[in-house]
Homo-oligomer: A and B are copies of this chain.
Amino acid sequence: MIQKILIANRGEIAVRVMRTCKEMGIRTVAVYSEADRTSRHVSYADEAVCIGLASSQESYLNADKIIKAAKQFKADAIHPGYGFLSENAGFARRCKEEGIIFIGPSAESIEAMGDKISARRQMIKAKVPVVPGTSEDLKPRDLFRVCRRIGLPVIIKATAGGGGKGMRLVYEEKQLYEAYEAAKSEARASFGNDSVYIEKYIESPHHIEIQFLGDAHGNVIHLFDRECSVQRRHQKIVEESPSPFIDDKTRQAMGAIAVKAARSIGYVGAGTIEFLVDGDMNFYFLEMNTRLQVEHPITEEVLGVDLVKEQIHIANRKKLRLRQKHLHQRGHAIECRICAEDPENNFAPSPGIIRHIQTPEGIGVRVDSFIYDGYEIPVYYDSMLGKLIVWATSRIYALERMRRVLYEYKITGVKTNIDYLRRIMDTRDFVKGNYTTHFIEDNSKKLQESAGNNNEIEDMAIIAAYIDHIVNSNDAPSLSPADNLPISRWRAFGKQKGVLRI
Protein backbone atom coordinates (compact mmCIF):
# COMPACT_ATOMS: atom_id res chain seq x y z
CA MET A 1 0.00 0.00 0.00
CA ILE A 2 1.28 3.42 -0.98
CA GLN A 3 2.20 5.45 2.11
CA LYS A 4 3.92 8.49 0.65
CA ILE A 5 3.62 10.12 -2.77
CA LEU A 6 5.95 12.59 -4.41
CA ILE A 7 4.04 14.90 -6.71
CA ALA A 8 6.26 15.72 -9.70
CA ASN A 9 4.35 18.82 -10.64
CA ARG A 10 3.34 22.31 -9.55
CA GLY A 11 0.29 24.60 -9.69
CA GLU A 12 -3.31 23.58 -9.27
CA ILE A 13 -2.82 19.94 -10.26
CA ALA A 14 -0.14 19.37 -7.61
CA VAL A 15 -2.46 20.78 -4.95
CA ARG A 16 -5.42 18.80 -6.33
CA VAL A 17 -3.49 15.51 -6.05
CA MET A 18 -2.31 16.40 -2.53
CA ARG A 19 -5.88 17.07 -1.43
CA THR A 20 -6.86 13.50 -2.17
CA CYS A 21 -3.66 12.19 -0.57
CA LYS A 22 -4.44 14.15 2.60
CA GLU A 23 -7.91 12.64 2.70
CA MET A 24 -6.48 9.16 2.26
CA GLY A 25 -3.86 9.69 4.98
CA ILE A 26 -1.03 9.40 2.44
CA ARG A 27 1.93 11.67 3.12
CA THR A 28 2.97 14.03 0.34
CA VAL A 29 6.30 15.36 -0.90
CA ALA A 30 6.41 18.50 -3.03
CA VAL A 31 9.24 19.28 -5.40
CA TYR A 32 9.73 22.88 -6.40
CA SER A 33 11.91 25.07 -8.55
CA GLU A 34 13.67 28.12 -7.19
CA ALA A 35 10.88 30.28 -8.65
CA ASP A 36 8.25 28.30 -6.78
CA ARG A 37 9.29 28.52 -3.13
CA THR A 38 6.14 30.52 -2.33
CA SER A 39 3.86 28.34 -4.44
CA ARG A 40 0.97 26.75 -2.64
CA HIS A 41 1.93 23.17 -3.45
CA VAL A 42 5.04 23.66 -1.30
CA SER A 43 3.15 24.77 1.78
CA TYR A 44 0.34 22.26 1.23
CA ALA A 45 2.68 19.26 1.21
CA ASP A 46 3.95 17.48 4.31
CA GLU A 47 7.49 17.72 3.00
CA ALA A 48 9.09 19.79 0.28
CA VAL A 49 12.42 19.99 -1.50
CA CYS A 50 13.91 22.37 -4.02
CA ILE A 51 15.03 20.57 -7.19
CA GLY A 52 16.58 23.33 -9.25
CA LEU A 53 16.32 26.49 -11.25
CA ALA A 54 13.16 28.17 -12.45
CA SER A 55 13.42 26.78 -15.98
CA SER A 56 11.37 23.58 -16.23
CA GLN A 57 14.26 21.81 -17.93
CA GLU A 58 16.29 22.29 -14.77
CA SER A 59 13.56 21.23 -12.37
CA TYR A 60 10.14 19.80 -13.23
CA LEU A 61 11.49 18.06 -16.34
CA ASN A 62 14.66 16.80 -14.67
CA ALA A 63 14.02 13.11 -14.04
CA ASP A 64 17.28 12.59 -12.15
CA LYS A 65 16.54 15.23 -9.57
CA ILE A 66 12.98 14.04 -9.10
CA ILE A 67 14.04 10.42 -8.62
CA LYS A 68 16.71 11.57 -6.18
CA ALA A 69 14.14 13.53 -4.18
CA ALA A 70 11.79 10.53 -4.12
CA LYS A 71 14.56 8.36 -2.70
CA GLN A 72 15.71 10.99 -0.22
CA PHE A 73 12.20 11.34 1.19
CA LYS A 74 11.39 7.64 0.84
CA ALA A 75 8.34 8.19 -1.34
CA ASP A 76 7.01 4.89 -2.62
CA ALA A 77 5.13 6.44 -5.53
CA ILE A 78 5.28 9.43 -7.90
CA HIS A 79 2.20 11.18 -9.28
CA PRO A 80 3.15 13.13 -12.40
CA GLY A 81 -0.01 15.27 -12.76
CA TYR A 82 -0.42 16.51 -16.34
CA GLY A 83 2.22 18.11 -18.57
CA PHE A 84 5.92 17.94 -17.56
CA LEU A 85 6.92 14.25 -17.25
CA SER A 86 3.41 12.81 -17.22
CA GLU A 87 3.62 11.34 -20.73
CA ASN A 88 7.33 10.61 -20.74
CA ALA A 89 7.82 6.89 -21.26
CA GLY A 90 11.46 7.12 -20.22
CA PHE A 91 10.50 8.56 -16.87
CA ALA A 92 7.86 5.88 -16.28
CA ARG A 93 10.44 3.22 -17.11
CA ARG A 94 13.03 4.86 -14.86
CA CYS A 95 10.59 4.86 -11.93
CA LYS A 96 9.97 1.15 -12.41
CA GLU A 97 13.70 0.41 -12.50
CA GLU A 98 14.21 2.39 -9.29
CA GLY A 99 11.40 0.52 -7.56
CA ILE A 100 9.12 3.55 -7.35
CA ILE A 101 5.47 3.22 -8.39
CA PHE A 102 4.65 5.55 -11.30
CA ILE A 103 1.00 6.55 -10.94
CA GLY A 104 0.09 6.17 -14.59
CA PRO A 105 0.18 3.55 -17.32
CA SER A 106 3.23 1.46 -18.27
CA ALA A 107 6.07 2.91 -20.33
CA GLU A 108 4.91 0.65 -23.17
CA SER A 109 1.40 2.11 -23.17
CA ILE A 110 2.78 5.64 -23.15
CA GLU A 111 5.09 4.81 -26.04
CA ALA A 112 2.37 3.11 -28.07
CA MET A 113 0.15 6.16 -27.79
CA GLY A 114 2.83 8.86 -27.79
CA ASP A 115 3.45 8.84 -31.52
CA LYS A 116 0.50 9.78 -33.75
CA ILE A 117 1.33 7.36 -36.52
CA SER A 118 1.92 4.38 -34.27
CA ALA A 119 -1.22 5.26 -32.29
CA ARG A 120 -3.29 5.36 -35.51
CA ARG A 121 -1.90 2.02 -36.60
CA GLN A 122 -2.61 0.49 -33.21
CA MET A 123 -6.17 1.82 -33.23
CA ILE A 124 -6.89 0.53 -36.75
CA LYS A 125 -5.72 -2.88 -35.56
CA ALA A 126 -8.10 -2.63 -32.58
CA LYS A 127 -10.93 -1.68 -34.98
CA VAL A 128 -11.26 1.78 -33.49
CA PRO A 129 -12.56 4.24 -36.10
CA VAL A 130 -9.94 6.69 -37.31
CA VAL A 131 -10.40 9.51 -39.81
CA PRO A 132 -10.89 7.59 -43.11
CA GLY A 133 -8.20 7.91 -45.73
CA THR A 134 -4.97 6.44 -47.00
CA SER A 135 -1.53 7.09 -45.64
CA GLU A 136 0.40 5.81 -48.65
CA ASP A 137 1.06 7.55 -51.97
CA LEU A 138 -2.23 7.85 -53.85
CA LYS A 139 -2.14 6.65 -57.51
CA PRO A 140 -4.44 8.22 -60.13
CA ARG A 141 -6.12 4.86 -60.72
CA ASP A 142 -7.18 4.64 -57.05
CA LEU A 143 -8.30 8.25 -56.76
CA PHE A 144 -12.01 7.97 -57.48
CA ARG A 145 -12.44 4.60 -55.81
CA VAL A 146 -10.87 5.78 -52.56
CA CYS A 147 -12.74 9.04 -52.62
CA ARG A 148 -16.07 7.28 -53.07
CA ARG A 149 -15.24 4.93 -50.24
CA ILE A 150 -14.53 7.66 -47.69
CA GLY A 151 -17.08 10.16 -49.05
CA LEU A 152 -16.88 13.87 -49.81
CA PRO A 153 -15.59 16.32 -48.73
CA VAL A 154 -12.04 15.09 -48.74
CA ILE A 155 -8.69 16.74 -48.29
CA ILE A 156 -5.67 15.91 -50.38
CA LYS A 157 -2.37 16.38 -48.54
CA ALA A 158 1.28 16.13 -49.47
CA THR A 159 2.95 13.22 -47.68
CA ALA A 160 6.00 15.37 -47.10
CA GLY A 161 3.81 18.37 -46.43
CA GLY A 162 3.22 21.01 -43.86
CA GLY A 163 2.08 24.59 -43.65
CA GLY A 164 -0.88 24.12 -46.02
CA LYS A 165 1.37 23.59 -49.05
CA GLY A 166 0.26 20.83 -51.42
CA MET A 167 -3.12 20.70 -49.75
CA ARG A 168 -6.51 20.79 -51.52
CA LEU A 169 -10.01 20.63 -50.12
CA VAL A 170 -12.54 18.94 -52.45
CA TYR A 171 -16.28 19.25 -52.08
CA GLU A 172 -17.44 17.94 -55.49
CA GLU A 173 -16.28 14.92 -57.39
CA LYS A 174 -15.91 16.84 -60.62
CA GLN A 175 -13.16 18.93 -58.99
CA LEU A 176 -11.34 15.83 -57.74
CA TYR A 177 -8.90 15.13 -60.54
CA GLU A 178 -7.95 18.76 -61.02
CA ALA A 179 -7.31 19.18 -57.32
CA TYR A 180 -5.24 16.00 -57.23
CA GLU A 181 -3.03 17.25 -60.04
CA ALA A 182 -2.68 20.69 -58.49
CA ALA A 183 -1.72 19.23 -55.11
CA LYS A 184 0.84 16.95 -56.71
CA SER A 185 2.49 19.73 -58.68
CA GLU A 186 2.54 22.06 -55.68
CA ALA A 187 4.02 19.26 -53.56
CA ARG A 188 6.67 18.64 -56.16
CA ALA A 189 7.55 22.32 -56.27
CA SER A 190 7.57 22.74 -52.54
CA PHE A 191 9.09 19.51 -51.24
CA GLY A 192 10.62 17.86 -54.30
CA ASN A 193 8.28 14.96 -53.67
CA ASP A 194 4.90 14.71 -55.34
CA SER A 195 3.37 11.90 -53.34
CA VAL A 196 0.01 12.82 -51.82
CA TYR A 197 -2.61 11.06 -49.70
CA ILE A 198 -6.29 11.57 -49.13
CA GLU A 199 -8.28 11.92 -45.93
CA LYS A 200 -11.88 12.67 -45.06
CA TYR A 201 -12.37 16.33 -44.21
CA ILE A 202 -14.36 16.80 -40.99
CA GLU A 203 -16.13 20.08 -41.59
CA SER A 204 -17.45 21.28 -38.27
CA PRO A 205 -15.89 18.94 -35.81
CA HIS A 206 -16.63 18.56 -32.16
CA HIS A 207 -13.81 17.68 -29.87
CA ILE A 208 -15.31 15.11 -27.52
CA GLU A 209 -13.33 12.83 -25.26
CA ILE A 210 -14.02 9.72 -23.22
CA GLN A 211 -12.46 9.15 -19.80
CA PHE A 212 -11.57 5.56 -18.94
CA LEU A 213 -9.95 3.55 -16.17
CA GLY A 214 -8.14 0.24 -16.43
CA ASP A 215 -6.76 -1.90 -13.60
CA ALA A 216 -3.84 -4.33 -13.46
CA HIS A 217 -6.28 -7.25 -13.69
CA GLY A 218 -7.57 -6.52 -17.17
CA ASN A 219 -10.75 -4.67 -16.15
CA VAL A 220 -11.54 -1.51 -18.11
CA ILE A 221 -14.49 0.85 -17.73
CA HIS A 222 -15.33 4.19 -19.31
CA LEU A 223 -16.59 7.23 -17.43
CA PHE A 224 -18.53 8.86 -20.24
CA ASP A 225 -17.84 11.97 -22.27
CA ARG A 226 -16.54 15.50 -22.01
CA GLU A 227 -17.27 18.14 -24.65
CA CYS A 228 -14.13 20.23 -25.22
CA SER A 229 -14.89 22.14 -28.42
CA VAL A 230 -14.49 25.62 -26.93
CA GLN A 231 -10.87 26.16 -27.88
CA ARG A 232 -8.70 29.11 -28.74
CA ARG A 233 -5.55 28.26 -30.66
CA HIS A 234 -6.07 24.59 -29.79
CA GLN A 235 -6.20 25.45 -26.09
CA LYS A 236 -9.35 24.34 -24.32
CA ILE A 237 -11.07 27.13 -22.43
CA VAL A 238 -14.45 25.73 -21.38
CA GLU A 239 -15.45 22.08 -21.06
CA GLU A 240 -18.73 20.43 -20.16
CA SER A 241 -20.14 17.01 -19.44
CA PRO A 242 -22.24 15.49 -20.84
CA SER A 243 -21.75 16.88 -24.34
CA PRO A 244 -24.85 18.82 -25.39
CA PHE A 245 -24.30 17.57 -28.94
CA ILE A 246 -24.14 13.78 -29.07
CA ASP A 247 -27.12 11.54 -28.41
CA ASP A 248 -27.11 8.71 -25.94
CA LYS A 249 -26.56 6.02 -28.55
CA THR A 250 -23.41 7.73 -29.80
CA ARG A 251 -22.25 8.30 -26.21
CA GLN A 252 -22.57 4.60 -25.44
CA ALA A 253 -20.86 3.64 -28.69
CA MET A 254 -17.95 6.00 -28.00
CA GLY A 255 -17.63 4.62 -24.48
CA ALA A 256 -17.55 1.05 -25.75
CA ILE A 257 -14.91 1.95 -28.36
CA ALA A 258 -12.78 3.68 -25.72
CA VAL A 259 -12.89 0.56 -23.56
CA LYS A 260 -11.91 -1.55 -26.56
CA ALA A 261 -9.03 0.78 -27.40
CA ALA A 262 -7.69 0.79 -23.83
CA ARG A 263 -8.04 -2.96 -23.55
CA SER A 264 -6.15 -3.47 -26.82
CA ILE A 265 -3.00 -2.03 -25.29
CA GLY A 266 -3.48 -3.46 -21.79
CA TYR A 267 -3.90 0.01 -20.33
CA VAL A 268 -3.55 0.35 -16.54
CA GLY A 269 -4.57 3.65 -14.94
CA ALA A 270 -6.66 6.68 -15.92
CA GLY A 271 -6.65 7.77 -19.55
CA THR A 272 -8.64 9.66 -22.12
CA ILE A 273 -9.42 9.13 -25.78
CA GLU A 274 -10.03 12.27 -27.77
CA PHE A 275 -12.39 11.93 -30.71
CA LEU A 276 -13.29 14.21 -33.60
CA VAL A 277 -17.05 14.04 -34.07
CA ASP A 278 -18.67 15.31 -37.27
CA GLY A 279 -22.10 16.88 -37.72
CA ASP A 280 -23.67 13.44 -38.25
CA MET A 281 -22.17 12.12 -35.00
CA ASN A 282 -19.62 9.96 -36.77
CA PHE A 283 -16.61 9.83 -34.45
CA TYR A 284 -12.94 9.26 -35.20
CA PHE A 285 -9.98 8.56 -32.94
CA LEU A 286 -7.77 11.63 -32.60
CA GLU A 287 -5.35 10.72 -29.82
CA MET A 288 -5.06 9.08 -26.46
CA ASN A 289 -3.86 11.03 -23.42
CA THR A 290 -2.15 8.67 -21.02
CA ARG A 291 -2.61 10.83 -17.92
CA LEU A 292 -5.12 12.86 -15.92
CA GLN A 293 -6.62 15.74 -17.96
CA VAL A 294 -6.97 19.35 -16.83
CA GLU A 295 -10.73 18.98 -17.27
CA HIS A 296 -11.11 15.76 -15.24
CA PRO A 297 -13.22 17.46 -12.52
CA ILE A 298 -16.35 17.68 -14.69
CA THR A 299 -16.35 13.90 -14.94
CA GLU A 300 -15.87 13.70 -11.17
CA GLU A 301 -18.83 16.01 -10.58
CA VAL A 302 -21.20 14.20 -12.92
CA LEU A 303 -20.28 10.72 -11.73
CA GLY A 304 -19.47 11.46 -8.08
CA VAL A 305 -16.05 9.83 -8.39
CA ASP A 306 -12.63 11.03 -7.20
CA LEU A 307 -10.37 10.12 -10.12
CA VAL A 308 -7.13 10.65 -8.21
CA LYS A 309 -8.38 8.28 -5.51
CA GLU A 310 -9.12 5.71 -8.22
CA GLN A 311 -5.66 6.24 -9.74
CA ILE A 312 -4.04 5.50 -6.40
CA HIS A 313 -6.34 2.52 -5.90
CA ILE A 314 -5.23 1.14 -9.27
CA ALA A 315 -1.57 1.91 -8.54
CA ASN A 316 -1.96 -0.26 -5.42
CA ARG A 317 -2.80 -3.04 -7.92
CA LYS A 318 -6.31 -3.36 -6.58
CA LYS A 319 -9.25 -4.31 -8.74
CA LEU A 320 -11.54 -1.56 -10.01
CA ARG A 321 -14.33 -1.04 -7.51
CA LEU A 322 -16.56 0.85 -9.92
CA ARG A 323 -18.81 -1.24 -12.17
CA GLN A 324 -19.82 0.01 -15.59
CA LYS A 325 -23.46 -0.84 -14.99
CA HIS A 326 -23.59 1.27 -11.83
CA LEU A 327 -22.17 4.36 -13.49
CA HIS A 328 -24.67 6.92 -14.69
CA GLN A 329 -24.20 10.56 -15.50
CA ARG A 330 -26.18 12.73 -13.09
CA GLY A 331 -26.90 16.36 -13.93
CA HIS A 332 -24.45 18.55 -15.78
CA ALA A 333 -21.03 20.06 -15.07
CA ILE A 334 -19.15 22.94 -16.72
CA GLU A 335 -15.54 23.96 -16.19
CA CYS A 336 -13.93 27.31 -16.98
CA ARG A 337 -10.18 27.75 -16.98
CA ILE A 338 -9.20 30.91 -15.12
CA CYS A 339 -6.05 32.45 -16.57
CA ALA A 340 -3.92 35.48 -15.78
CA GLU A 341 -4.24 37.06 -19.19
CA ASP A 342 -5.70 40.16 -20.77
CA PRO A 343 -8.44 39.33 -23.29
CA GLU A 344 -8.56 42.97 -24.40
CA ASN A 345 -4.89 42.87 -25.28
CA ASN A 346 -4.71 39.73 -27.42
CA PHE A 347 -4.63 37.48 -24.35
CA ALA A 348 -1.21 38.70 -23.30
CA PRO A 349 -0.17 36.99 -20.08
CA SER A 350 -0.60 39.09 -16.98
CA PRO A 351 1.80 37.95 -14.30
CA GLY A 352 2.13 39.92 -11.07
CA ILE A 353 1.05 39.81 -7.48
CA ILE A 354 -2.40 38.58 -6.52
CA ARG A 355 -3.69 41.32 -4.23
CA HIS A 356 -6.94 39.83 -3.16
CA ILE A 357 -9.18 36.90 -4.00
CA GLN A 358 -12.86 36.54 -3.24
CA THR A 359 -13.61 32.87 -3.85
CA PRO A 360 -17.11 31.93 -5.05
CA GLU A 361 -19.06 29.87 -2.57
CA GLY A 362 -22.42 28.19 -2.10
CA ILE A 363 -24.30 25.42 -3.82
CA GLY A 364 -22.80 23.55 -6.75
CA VAL A 365 -19.44 25.28 -7.13
CA ARG A 366 -15.95 23.83 -6.98
CA VAL A 367 -12.71 25.77 -7.26
CA ASP A 368 -9.44 24.00 -8.04
CA SER A 369 -6.75 26.65 -7.79
CA PHE A 370 -3.41 27.29 -6.18
CA ILE A 371 -3.38 31.04 -5.74
CA TYR A 372 -3.64 33.00 -2.51
CA ASP A 373 -3.59 36.62 -1.40
CA GLY A 374 -0.13 38.05 -1.85
CA TYR A 375 1.09 35.29 -4.20
CA GLU A 376 3.34 36.46 -6.98
CA ILE A 377 2.66 34.52 -10.18
CA PRO A 378 6.02 33.47 -11.61
CA VAL A 379 6.72 34.29 -15.24
CA TYR A 380 8.24 30.90 -16.02
CA TYR A 381 5.14 28.74 -16.19
CA ASP A 382 1.76 28.87 -17.83
CA SER A 383 -0.91 31.39 -16.98
CA MET A 384 -3.65 29.13 -15.63
CA LEU A 385 -4.53 30.16 -12.08
CA GLY A 386 -7.13 27.51 -11.54
CA LYS A 387 -10.43 26.10 -12.65
CA LEU A 388 -13.97 26.98 -11.80
CA ILE A 389 -16.35 24.05 -11.94
CA VAL A 390 -20.11 24.05 -11.42
CA TRP A 391 -22.58 21.24 -11.17
CA ALA A 392 -26.37 21.45 -11.43
CA THR A 393 -29.27 19.17 -12.24
CA SER A 394 -29.53 20.36 -15.84
CA ARG A 395 -27.39 22.10 -18.43
CA ILE A 396 -29.38 25.33 -18.26
CA TYR A 397 -29.09 25.44 -14.48
CA ALA A 398 -25.37 24.73 -14.71
CA LEU A 399 -25.01 27.61 -17.14
CA GLU A 400 -26.94 29.95 -14.84
CA ARG A 401 -24.77 28.81 -11.96
CA MET A 402 -21.57 29.40 -13.90
CA ARG A 403 -22.69 32.98 -14.60
CA ARG A 404 -23.35 33.46 -10.90
CA VAL A 405 -20.00 32.09 -9.74
CA LEU A 406 -18.05 34.00 -12.40
CA TYR A 407 -19.76 37.07 -10.96
CA GLU A 408 -18.66 36.10 -7.45
CA TYR A 409 -15.05 35.30 -8.36
CA LYS A 410 -12.99 38.45 -7.77
CA ILE A 411 -9.26 38.38 -8.34
CA THR A 412 -7.41 41.66 -8.10
CA GLY A 413 -3.80 42.53 -8.79
CA VAL A 414 -3.59 40.76 -12.14
CA LYS A 415 -5.87 40.80 -15.13
CA THR A 416 -7.82 37.61 -15.73
CA ASN A 417 -10.10 36.18 -18.39
CA ILE A 418 -13.12 36.03 -16.05
CA ASP A 419 -15.07 38.66 -18.01
CA TYR A 420 -14.27 36.87 -21.27
CA LEU A 421 -15.57 33.59 -19.84
CA ARG A 422 -18.72 35.37 -18.76
CA ARG A 423 -19.23 36.52 -22.34
CA ILE A 424 -18.87 32.93 -23.55
CA MET A 425 -21.67 31.99 -21.13
CA ASP A 426 -23.84 34.65 -22.77
CA THR A 427 -23.07 33.74 -26.38
CA ARG A 428 -26.07 32.30 -28.22
CA ASP A 429 -24.30 29.27 -29.72
CA PHE A 430 -22.94 28.28 -26.34
CA VAL A 431 -26.24 28.82 -24.55
CA LYS A 432 -27.97 26.61 -27.12
CA GLY A 433 -25.23 23.98 -26.87
CA ASN A 434 -24.81 24.32 -30.59
CA TYR A 435 -21.10 24.82 -31.15
CA THR A 436 -18.04 23.19 -32.76
CA THR A 437 -14.31 23.81 -32.53
CA HIS A 438 -14.93 26.90 -34.69
CA PHE A 439 -16.93 28.50 -31.86
CA ILE A 440 -14.32 31.02 -30.68
CA GLU A 441 -13.42 32.01 -34.24
CA ASP A 442 -17.07 32.32 -35.30
CA ASN A 443 -17.92 34.48 -32.30
CA SER A 444 -14.67 36.37 -31.94
CA LYS A 445 -16.20 39.77 -32.51
CA LYS A 446 -18.99 39.35 -30.03
CA LEU A 447 -16.60 37.88 -27.46
CA GLN A 448 -14.39 40.94 -27.67
CA GLU A 449 -17.17 43.37 -26.91
CA SER A 450 -17.12 44.54 -23.35
CA ALA A 451 -20.32 44.98 -21.40
CA GLY A 452 -20.99 48.27 -23.15
CA ASN A 453 -20.55 51.75 -21.88
CA ASN A 454 -22.40 52.37 -18.73
CA ASN A 455 -21.43 55.78 -17.51
CA GLU A 456 -22.84 55.18 -14.06
CA ILE A 457 -20.63 52.13 -13.49
CA GLU A 458 -17.66 54.11 -14.75
CA ASP A 459 -18.53 56.91 -12.35
CA MET A 460 -18.78 54.42 -9.48
CA ALA A 461 -15.31 53.12 -10.36
CA ILE A 462 -13.97 56.68 -10.26
CA ILE A 463 -15.64 57.25 -6.91
CA ALA A 464 -14.16 54.02 -5.49
CA ALA A 465 -10.67 55.11 -6.54
CA TYR A 466 -11.22 58.62 -5.25
CA ILE A 467 -12.37 57.45 -1.84
CA ASP A 468 -9.51 55.02 -1.52
CA HIS A 469 -7.26 57.95 -2.32
CA ILE A 470 -8.86 60.11 0.36
CA VAL A 471 -8.49 57.40 2.95
CA ASN A 472 -5.07 56.06 2.08
CA SER A 473 -3.04 58.72 0.38
CA ASN A 474 -0.51 60.88 2.11
CA ASP A 475 -2.13 63.91 0.56
CA ALA A 476 -5.26 63.39 2.60
CA PRO A 477 -5.66 65.19 5.92
CA SER A 478 -3.84 63.25 8.59
CA LEU A 479 -6.14 60.92 10.50
CA SER A 480 -5.30 58.44 13.16
CA PRO A 481 -8.22 56.50 14.55
CA ALA A 482 -7.32 53.84 17.08
CA ASP A 483 -7.18 50.81 14.81
CA ASN A 484 -6.04 52.55 11.62
CA LEU A 485 -8.23 50.39 9.39
CA PRO A 486 -9.55 52.01 6.19
CA ILE A 487 -13.12 51.79 7.44
CA SER A 488 -12.13 53.61 10.63
CA ARG A 489 -10.11 56.20 8.79
CA TRP A 490 -13.08 56.70 6.51
CA ARG A 491 -15.46 57.13 9.43
CA ALA A 492 -13.11 59.44 11.24
CA PHE A 493 -12.57 61.57 8.22
CA GLY A 494 -14.52 64.78 7.89
CA LYS A 495 -17.36 64.24 10.28
CA GLN A 496 -18.57 67.75 9.65
CA LYS A 497 -20.73 68.66 6.71
CA GLY A 498 -19.58 71.19 4.19
CA VAL A 499 -17.51 71.46 1.09
CA LEU A 500 -14.20 69.67 1.25
CA ARG A 501 -11.55 69.78 -1.36
CA ILE A 502 -8.71 67.31 -1.46
Residues of A within 8 A of B (CB): 15-16, 19-20, 22-25, 38, 297, 300, 304-306, 309, 330-331, 353, 356, 358-359, 361-369, 372-374, 376, 391-393, 397, 400-401, 403-404, 407, 483, 485-487
Flag if B363 contacts A300 (CB, 8 Å).
Answer: yes
Give 6 A-B pairs besides A304-B393, A306-B393, A362-B368 with Cβ atoms closer than 8 angstroms: A16-B362, A23-B404, A304-B331, A305-B393, A353-B483, A365-B366
Contacts of A483 in B (CB 8 A): 353
How many angstroms between the C-alpha atoms of A485 and B352 in the bound complex?
13
Copies held by the complex: 2
Bound-complex Cα distance A366 to B359 (A): 11
Specify which chain B residues have a CB less than 8 angstroms from the CB of A304 in the assembled complex. Answer: 330-331, 391, 393
Partner of A400, one of B24, B403, B404, B407: B24
Known: A306-B363, A362-B368, A366-B363. A487 touches B376 (CB 8 A): yes
Complex interface: chain B residues within 8 A of A38 (CB)? 487
Please measure, in the bound complex, the distance between the C-alpha atom of A54 and the C-alpha atom of B364, giving whole angstroms. 33
Q: Which residues of B contact A367 (CB under 8 A)?
A: 359, 361-362
Cα distance A38–B491 in the bound complex, in angstroms:
13
A110 CB to nearest B CB, Å: 26
17 CB contacts below 8 A, A to B, read: A16-B362, A19-B363, A20-B363, A23-B401, A23-B403, A300-B363, A304-B391, A304-B393, A306-B363, A306-B393, A358-B372, A361-B366, A361-B369, A362-B367, A363-B366, A374-B486, A376-B487
Most buried by B among A19, A358, A392: A19
Q: Tell me the bound Cα distance from A353 to B482 in angstroms.
A: 14
| Distance of A38 Cα from B490 Cα, bound (Å) | 13
How far apart sit A300 and B306, CA to CA, in the bound complex (Å)?
A: 19
Closest to A25 in B: B400
Contact call B361/A359, Cβ cutoff below 8 A: yes
Cβ contacts under 8 Å, A362 to chain B: 15-16, 19, 366-368
Chain B residues with CB under 8 A of A331? 304
The answer to whether A364 and B400 have CB atoms under 8 Å apart is no
Q: Which residues of B contact A20 (CB under 8 A)?
A: 363
Report A479 CB to chain B, min CB distance, Å: 18
Query: A403 to chain B: which residues have CB within 8 Å?
Result: 23
Known: A19-B404, A22-B404. A364 touches B306 (CB 8 A): yes
CB distance from A48 to the nearest CB of B (A): 14
6 closest A-B pairs by beta carbon, nearest first, are A23-B400, A19-B362, A361-B367, A359-B359, A23-B404, A22-B404
What B residues does A363 contact at CB under 8 A?
A: 16, 19-20, 297, 300, 306, 366, 368
Residue of B nearest to A375 (CB): B487
Minimal beta-carbon separation of A101 from chain B (angstroms): 21
A382 to chain B, nearest CB (A): 19
Chain B residue at minimal CB-CB distance from A400: B23
Q: Which residues of B contact A305 (CB under 8 A)?
A: 393
Instruction: Indicate which residue in B16, B25, B374 contacts A487 across the interface (CB closer than 8 Å).
Output: B374
Distance to closest chain B CB from A322 (angstroms):
10
Asked if A485 contacts B23 (CB within 8 A), the reply is no
Query: Whole-angstrom distance from the CB of A200 to the nearest CB of chain B?
Result: 39
Question: Closest B-chain residue to A369, C-beta based?
Answer: B361
Closest Cβ of chain B: how far from A18's Cβ, in Å? Answer: 9
Q: Are B356 and A373 in contact (CB under 8 A)?
A: yes
A372 to chain B, nearest CB (A): 6
Closest Cβ of chain B to A413, distance in Å, is: 11
> Which chain B residues lie closer than 8 Å to A23 at the CB level?
397, 400-401, 403-404
Q: How far is the CB of A10 from chain B (nearest CB, A)?
A: 16
A307 to chain B, nearest CB (A): 9
Smallest CB-CB separation from A358: which chain B residue? B372
B contact residues around A19 at 8 Å (CB): 362-363, 404
**Closest Cβ of chain B: how far from A1's Cβ, in Å?**
15
* Docked pose: A373 CA to B374 CA in angstroms: 13
